[in-house]
Amino acid sequence: MADLITITVDGRDVQVPAKIQLIEALRTYAKVDTPAFCYHPDLSVAGNCRICLVEVAGPRGFAFGIACHMQTAPGLSVKTQISSERVKWARRGVMESLLVNHPLDCPICDKAGECTLQEHYMGQGQHESRLSDDAGKNYKGGADHRFTDAKGVDRGGKKIDLGKTIILDQERCIVCSRCVRFMDEVAKDSQLAIAGRGDHAYITTFPGKPLAHAYDLNVTDVCPVGALTGKHFRFQQRVWTLKSVESIDPSDALGANLTIEYNNGRVWRIMPRRNVAVNKSWIANSTRLLYQKLAVDRLTDARVGGKDVDLDTGVKVARIAISGAKRIALVASGHGTIEDNAALLALKDALGEKAEIFGGSWLPVGKADGIALSGDPVANRAGLKLLGIPENLDALIERAGEFDTLLVFNHDLWAADAAKAAKLEAIPARIVLASWLDATVAKATVAVGIRAWAEVRGAMVNCQERVQLTQACPVLPNPALEPAWRVLAGLAGATWSAEIDAFKAAQARAPRLAGLTYRAIGPLGAVLPQPALAAAGA
Ligand code: SF4
Ligand code: FES
């Protein structure tokens, strides 16, 4: 651990790292809950909201300072709301000035339930309103952000369409500048700005320009109030009704950390989950909106010769085809988990000489964007490598005539490259395990539905060699659907009853996974030991 120094918090000595933001030292090391609106751990410090005020000892005694801007140094002495009435009084004043013209539309605001203004009112505010009913509220917004309400009163900034993804409710904005800093510093495309001065300041895009960026929905997360909301989630659910599981981005090899939020058997939104080593606090819009495809065009049962059958029948027909095969090509999937691919390897072992494993992908690999996408759409490519699965799909094309049976799971070969995949149509029996009615299912002689990425528990290895977990969200379109590993293990005759059995089988093949448990991987993942260390049992 970095060298620690001693600071004094409310008369108590606390060991903290030197030169970290005082707000982090208070929250993490002193365990003093310290409010913030403008501070965000993954953005630069702006120091404009003043809600994090504390008292700090200086040459003229204790004076106010903002905890988000100050850094820890030896001998620093701080008074927080725990020991200082003045801190409480000052923060109440900040809350009063922020709320004086803030609309009281929590009942219809999507941020209600996760709004820091609500939270800090309960924690630091609770002031009596001094607002005169005659004066009323003075809503904020520029001339072009105003409208006239049913009573003929000029109001400011309701439901401004900022672009394809986001609506701005200007009068809720507390001008913390987090959204501006996100666009400047993370997106590196300055599309938002604060215009006006003082209490007339307001958030806007540049004249005639929309907010349009592949990561722009992150501004709805950093917005501490309900000023910026995503069109995809507005008025869909009250946030306190949502339950969540922690998972990772299945569409990219970085595996950005996220939570899947669900209610009533349906996923309602995907939110970024902070992991400083992977995606900080950000996910791409394309990742965030993946949930919209979860319930669409699913393969919920099985198909044999183009006719719908139930799942049991589909599996039975697949088993008969496999046992009657003379030469079978088994195609691994970098879109599946370690457990799924370990089950495929178990099937290969069970079938012996007549089976051969193929791996790889025909999807194009792009460039990393430096935020939350690596550019490689094969999420578990490193996991397949770890299991010793070769990248040899093109060899399968050349040798297609050698096989009479093909088994593909969770891998839409015909969508990735229809021309190459067409050569696989020379293989007469094509067994496909898939979650969606995709182009590969259309070419299958037997297709069996399996659970989709959000519905399974398992491990993937990202492009940084970090093992990360997906967790199962209870939103199955057909409760009888099984994860791919269970169907494959059944075909292999393996008696695995849970994901961990499949994971243990993977550990037996990949020494670098040895010693890991789901608990040890945890919500933030675990970096694989280097091969030499793994061999030494470290
Ligand atoms: S819109 Fe939200 S994030 Fe942007 S300045 Fe206003 S309160 Fe802050
Ligand atoms: S959080 Fe410190 S000034 Fe805003």
Expressed in angstroms and rounded, the spacing between residue 224 Cα and the centre of ligand 2 is: 12
Torsional sign, CA 294, 298, 301, 304: negative
Q: Is the pLDDT of residue 491 over 90?
A: yes
Ligand 2 atom closest to Cα of residue 39: 1
Ligand 1 pocket, 183 CB below 6 A?
no
Expressed in angstroms and rounded, the spacing between residue 270 Cα and the centre of ligand 1 is: 21
Ligand 2 pocket, 210 CB below 6 A?
no
Of 44, 51, 222, the residue with max ligand 2 atoms within 8 A of its CB, to mutate for a pocket test, comes to 51
Ligand 2 atom closest to Cα of residue 38: 4
269-287: b (≥16 Cβ within 10 Å) or e: bbbbbebeebbbbbbbbeb
Mean pLDDT of 331-343: 98
Ligand 2 pocket, 224 CB below 6 A?
no
Q: How would residue 131 be classed by pLDDT, with cut points 50, 70 and 90?
A: confident
Q: Is the pLDDT of residue 34 over 90?
A: yes
Ligand 1 atom closest to Cα of residue 223: 3
More confident of the two residues 62 and 171: 62
Mean pLDDT of 425-453: 98
Mean pLDDT of 287-305: 97
Expressed in angstroms and rounded, the spacing between residue 147 Cα and the centre of ligand 1 is: 20
Q: Do 120 and 134 touch, CB atoms closer than 8 A?
A: no
Q: What pLDDT is recorded for position 195?
A: 86
Ligand 2 pocket, 37 CB below 6 A?
yes
Q: Do 304 and 317 touch, CB atoms closer than 8 A?
A: yes
List beta partners, residue 174. none
The label of the residue with tokens 């700005």 reads: 193
Q: Which of 429, 363, 427, 420 is nearest to 397 (CA)?
A: 420
Q: Residue with the nearest Cα to atom 8 of ligand 1?
A: 176
Of 45, 66, 95, 222, the residue with max ligand 2 atoms within 8 A of its CB, to mutate for a pocket test, comes to 66
Q: What 3-state DSSP class applies to 319?
A: helix
Ligand 2 pocket, 41 CB below 6 A?
no
Q: Do 410 and 251 touch, CB atoms closer than 8 A?
A: no
Q: Is the pLDDT of residue 2 over 90?
A: no
Share of the chain above pLDDT 70, in %: 95
Q: What pLDDT is recorded for position 422?
A: 97
Mean pLDDT of 227-231: 97
Expressed in angstroms and rounded, the spacing between residue 504 Cα and the centre of ligand 1 is: 47
- CA–CA separation, 108 and 125 (whole Å): 22
Express each pLDDT in 176-225 by its tens digit.
Answer: 999 999 999 999 999 999 987 887 788 888 888 899 999 999 999 999 99
Q: Residue with the nearest Cα to atom 1 of ligand 2?
A: 36
Ligand 1 pocket, 175 CB below 6 A?
yes
Q: What pLDDT is recorded for position 137?
A: 78
Q: What pLDDT is recorded for position 489?
A: 98
Of 98, 223, 281, the residue with max ligand 1 atoms within 8 A of its CB, to mutate for a pocket test, comes to 223
Q: How would residue 485 be classed by pLDDT, with cut points 50, 70 and 90?
A: very high
Q: What pLDDT is recorded for position 506?
A: 98
Average pLDDT, the chain: 94
Q: Is the pLDDT of residue 462 over 90?
A: yes
Mean pLDDT of 74-80: 97
Of 39, 98, 119, the residue with max ligand 2 atoms within 8 A of its CB, to mutate for a pocket test, comes to 39
Q: Is the pLDDT of residue 470 over 70?
A: yes
**Count of C-beta atoms within a 10 Å radius of residue 104:** 8
Ligand 2 pocket, 49 CB below 6 A?
yes
Q: Is the pLDDT of residue 59 over 80?
A: yes
Amino acid at 155: R
Q: What pLDDT is recorded for position 527?
A: 97
Q: What pLDDT is recorded for position 160?
A: 86
Ligand 2 atom closest to Cα of residue 36: 1
Q: What pLDDT is recorded for position 535?
A: 60
Q: How far is CA 128 from CA 98, 163, 262, 310, in A?
A: 14, 38, 37, 64
The label of the residue with tokens 């307001």 reads: 202
Ligand 2 pocket, 66 CB below 6 A?
yes
Expressed in angstroms and rounded, the spacing between residue 432 Cα and the centre of ligand 1 is: 48
Ligand 2 pocket, 36 CB below 6 A?
yes
Q: What 3-state DSSP class applies to 307?
A: strand
Ligand 1 pocket, 158 CB below 6 A?
no
Distance from CA of residue 76 to its chain's centroid?
37
Task: Tell me the two tokens of residue 135.
Answer: 């004066």
Q: Is the pLDDT of residue 125 over 90?
A: no
Q: Is the pLDDT of residue 435 over 90?
A: yes
| 208-212, 275-279, 336-340: the lowest-pLDDT one | 208-212
Expressed in angstroms and rounded, the spacing between residue 489 Cα and the centre of ligand 1 is: 51
Expressed in angstroms and rounded, the spacing between residue 65 Cα and the centre of ligand 2 is: 10
Backbone angles phi, psi at 148, to 5 degrees: -105, 125
Express each pLDDT in 80-118 by its tens digit.
Answer: 999 999 999 999 999 999 998 888 889 999 999 999 999
Q: Is the pLDDT of residue 3 over 90?
A: no
Closest ligand to Cα 227: 1
Mean pLDDT of 454-483: 98
Of 26, 50, 70, 94, the residue with max ligand 2 atoms within 8 A of its CB, to mutate for a pocket test, comes to 50
Q: How would residue 154 be classed by pLDDT, with cut points 50, 70 and 90?
A: low
Ligand 2 pocket, 342 CB below 6 A?
no
Q: What pLDDT is recorded for position 287?
A: 98
Of 162, 178, 186, 211, the residue with max ligand 1 atoms within 8 A of its CB, to mutate for a pocket test, comes to 178
Closest ligand to Cα 176: 1
**Largest CA-CA distance found in the chain, in angstroms, rounded:** 89
- CA–CA separation, 113 and 116 (whole Å): 9
Ligand 2 atom closest to Cα of residue 35: 1
Task: Tell me the two tokens of residue 177.
Answer: 């500048």
User: Residue length, the chain?
Assistant: 538
Q: Is the pLDDT of residue 144 over 60?
A: no
Expressed in angstroms and rounded, the spacing between residue 51 Cα and the centre of ligand 2 is: 6
Q: What pLDDT is recorded for position 105?
A: 86
Q: Is the pLDDT of residue 399 over 60?
A: yes
Expressed in angstroms and rounded, the spacing between residue 86 Cα and the centre of ligand 1 is: 27
Q: Which of 466, 455, 67 is nearest to 275 (CA)?
A: 466
Provide the whole-model pTM. 0.94
Q: What pLDDT is recorded for position 135?
A: 77
332-350: b (≥16 Cβ within 10 Å) or e: bbbbbbbbbbbbbbbbbee
